[in-house]
Amino acid sequence: MRLVVVGSVNLDLVARVTRLPAGGDTITAVDYNRIPGGKGANQALAARRLGADVALLAAVGDDEAAGEALALLAADGVDLTGVRRVDGPTGVALITVDDGGENTIVVVPGANARLTIDPAELAGADAVLCQLEVPMRTVAAAARATPPGALFCLNAAPPAAVPAEVLDRADLVVANRAEFAAVGGLDRAALVAVTAGADGAVLRAGGREVARAAAPAVTAADGTGAGDTFTGALVVGLLAGLDQDAALRRACLAGAAAASRPGAQPSLPRPADLDALEAR
């Protein structure tokens, strides 16, 4: 199965704190790390680690951060020939994570705001996956260029108004509860997966629930990337021919596994991790 991900690449600047700051607060971090991230990159790596043949179409800057941001993707064999280098900085995300695994994230788009695609780059794809950390015009172009019979998936995050033409082409939309409430018209898609963290996820078709899966109990370490892992896992499961219930359960396992470990890309699980969590 060949999955083409059209999306963002960031370098995550992660500060761990005992509690998230309130407005006007200044607090001292207990740890700091630079970690590859970005919703597109995270989803590409999650799908790759779970067995898909993955190509990433993305844009990074002409700075040293670009190499850092792409390092884990390259190490795991994601096809990066479609990653453009543009003038200016690579995208960054300023992330604060507290002792309970809750986080706040501020994204500085950088090169991601300049991503464009050539429709020919999607030829031969079995599935195309987009998110909303890149320009909407690029997402719409990817929807139009997805080959007939291929799966087009949209992760509606961060929340933004999505054109009807994109939703009408979408075979699958993934959103958390807040995103589902904030983005109108998502039920226009053939399938909509709505995630609820520790409460699991539901799958909707035609505005009604058609499947539900519980999330396994884990100790949360960092929620960064958990939703991206869920999305990548759900796409991989559907591409592999799992039925809707099984694919949703597998995606919940993947999201929980990611949330139980710190960092976005370093936390992304492999099939053995999901099997171990399911067997508990």
Give the active site residue among 25, 228, 243, 245: 228
Give the span between the Cα atoms of 232 and 43, in whole angstroms: 5
Query: Which residue(s) pair with 6 in the sheet?
Result: 57, 130
Burial-class residue 122 by CB neighbours within 10 Å (0-12, 13-18, 19+): buried
Q: Which residues of 51-75 are buried (b: 16+ CB within 10 A; e: fewer)?
A: ebebbbbbbbbebebbebbbebbee
Kindly report each contact of residues 135-138 with a partner whose C-beta sits within 8 Å and lies 24 or more positions away, as own/partner: 136/160, 136/162, 136/163, 138/6
Contacts of 187 (CB under 8 A, 6+ apart): 204, 206, 207
Instruction: Extract the tokens encoding 149.
Output: 């019979």
In the DSSP assignment, the letter for residue 198 is G
133 in Cβ contact with 77 (< 8 Å)? no
Q: Are strands 201-205 and 2-6 parallel, antiparallel or unpaired?
A: unpaired
Please indicate whether residue 228 is annotated as part of the active site. Answer: yes
CA atoms within 13 A on the CB side of 44: 35
Total Cβ atoms within 10 A of residue 98: 16
Active site residues per annotation? 228
